[in-house]
Chains A and B, each alone.
Chain A
Amino acid sequence: MPRRALLAVAAGVLAAAAIPFLLDDFLVSLALSCLMYVALATSWAMFSGATRYVSLGTSAFFGLGAYVSAWSLSALPWPVVVAGGAMVAAVFAALAGSAILHLRGTYFAVLTFGMSELVRHAITYGEKQYAGTVGRVLTTVPSNRTVYYTLLVVAAAALTAAVLVRASRLGLALDGIGADEQRAQTLGVPTRWVKVVGFALSASFAGAAGATMAVRWTYVDPAAVFNPFIGLQTVLIAIVGGAMSLGGPVLAAIVFSLLAEFLRLQFPYVYLIVLGVLLIVAVLYLPHGLAGLWSGRADVPWRRASSP
């Protein structure tokens, strides 16, 4: 099973690798946005899809990665910058996770949202205090092609990690936590440790994506890189696509990025309305997301908590 999924990932990566040679700049930047959400939604689903701990913290990890990039780009080689973004996000997720992962449901979701705001304000304050500025202009940035291939590597790594985690004992433990956390613990799962590791692993890819995308924007400021919309859209994409599946979030990330671009140009406000309607439809009628349409699953995990 993992071999087939890994082959599919490899095929997808090869196809995406050809894009800069075949398409014009506008379409390549569209593909870049697809890749960003593939990385974000896949890594989100890796932890939150399995455990059903809905995290709104993606923007915190993404923004931290972006700032690591802004701080270190001129001093460090590019791969180290991206890896640094991943590492800082993972360490932060591990610390924050240790403090809040004992809470479930709405409490966890609200706290992860609060966590993103906290990081944003802390960085704003720190930058004002010590650097005397809020935004940073990145002057010498890698070429667009380098950025594209870096993000492709990040997305491929997220997908590969997702496949391997699902086939591993860690993935089984995360599934058990999602199904019944106490039961999993009484069967020997060190739930606290598993949750922190899963949360940190998931955050590392968002951090790497943030570090990569920062150079694309050339101007980094807290409002842009800690934009809560990035976190919300990641959750929407993963849920609409089917957070329990591998292919669902990938498909939804591509559809949404294209849809977003099209609607933003043609009807700016309609995009958010479409997004909201799709989420409602997905939660009510497609519990396994778009992925549920082709795997034909019928039960409703997101709503099970409310049934007797």
Chain B
Amino acid sequence: MTAPLLAARGIVVRFGGLTAVDRVDLEIEDRTLIGIIGPNGAGKTTFFNALSGLVTPTAGRLVVGGDDLTRKPAHVFARAGIARTFQTPRVFADMTVAESVRFGLEFAGRWRRAERASLAGVPPILDFLGLGEAATLPARALTPARQRLLEIGMALATRPRVLLLDEVGAGLTEVEVENMARLVRRCRDELGLAVVWIEHAVAVLLPAVERVIVLHQGRTLAEGAPTAVTRDPRVIEAYLGEHVGGAEGRP
């Protein structure tokens, strides 16, 4: 068995008296597609912030490709092959689409070998995303859905091994969400990446991933195959039950 690309062990993130993430473990192996679901405030984004080095965990260890990166700043994680997107797309508004992608190649990407031809330069990355004809537009001129694609492109330009996607399906139309799910699979199948996908909307995510982790109040409530997790009574009670019960159970 090979070492995981990224191993998070007993991650705790505390803000003052609030424990946002409470002893969460995650091992990301090569070419896996993992989903993380959970109600609002479950600690999903905070957990991602810890995995990408933006937040230093209060306790726990982060090992990337055998190197302990706990307490290291975010650019070290990027150079080690951990890329991410943000819940609300954070693109460089004044840069063009091509310049934005080049940015990743100039920094973290420069430290890493392109293992796939599709990550070698700006044009193949834009083609992979279907943004080729938008190359010279300023990022702010794109629709929110395409800004999200661009954000994934900026992340891909760092030539990662692990791609962390934070609610890339939020606010998209049904068709756009299906396209996004297809793109997420292609990142794994065609680019050979391990992908971790956070989504609040369960219906979008479950069919697309192989393994699901359910976070609830900062803790791992359940973990396993999507079909098994959705049948777990604790999950139904804490997450799905809340929705179903709230909508139908009470007058």
A126 at the interface (CB under 8 A from B): no
Interface secondary structure of A, over-half rule: helix
Are A188 and B79 in contact (CB-based, < 8 A)? yes
A172 at the interface (CB under 8 A from B): yes
Are B84 and A176 in contact (CB-based, < 8 A)? no
Are B93 and A186 in contact (CB-based, < 8 A)? no
CA distance A169 to B102 in the complex (A): 11
Taking a contact as CB atoms closer than 8 A, the residue among A183, A185, A188 that contacts B92 in the complex is A183
Q: Give every chain B residue within 8 A of A301 (Cβ-Cβ).
A: 94
Q: Give every chain B residue within 8 A of A175 (Cβ-Cβ).
A: 92, 95
Taking a contact as CB atoms closer than 8 A, the residue among A169, A186, A304 that contacts B84 in the complex is A186
Taking a contact as CB atoms closer than 8 A, the residue among B53, B93, B158 that contacts A187 in the complex is B158
A192 at the interface (CB under 8 A from B): yes
Q: Give A51 Cβ to nearest chain B Cβ, in Å.
A: 13
- A 146-177 to B, binary, CB cutoff 8 A, 1 in contact else 0: 00000000000000000000000100110110
- B 65-108 to A, binary, CB cutoff 8 A, 1 in contact else 0: 00000000111011100011010001111110000000110111
CA distance A186 to B108 in the complex (A): 8
Are B95 and A179 in contact (CB-based, < 8 A)? yes
A190 at the interface (CB under 8 A from B): yes
Are A187 and B95 in contact (CB-based, < 8 A)? no
CA distance A26 to B158 in the complex (A): 56
Interface residues of A (CB under 8 A from B): 169, 172-173, 175-176, 179-180, 182-192, 299, 301, 304
B234 at the interface (CB under 8 A from A): no
A-B contact pairs, 26 of them (CB 8 A): A172-B106, A175-B92, A175-B95, A179-B95, A180-B90, A180-B92, A183-B92, A184-B103, A184-B107, A185-B54, A185-B73, A185-B74, A185-B75, A185-B78, A186-B52, A186-B53, A186-B54, A187-B78, A187-B154, A187-B158, A188-B75, A188-B158, A189-B107, A190-B75, A191-B73, A299-B94
Q: 9 closest Cβ contacts across the A-B interface?
A: A188-B108, A188-B107, A188-B78, A179-B92, A185-B74, A183-B90, A187-B104, A190-B75, A188-B75
Q: Give every chain A residue within 8 A of B42 (Cβ-Cβ).
A: none
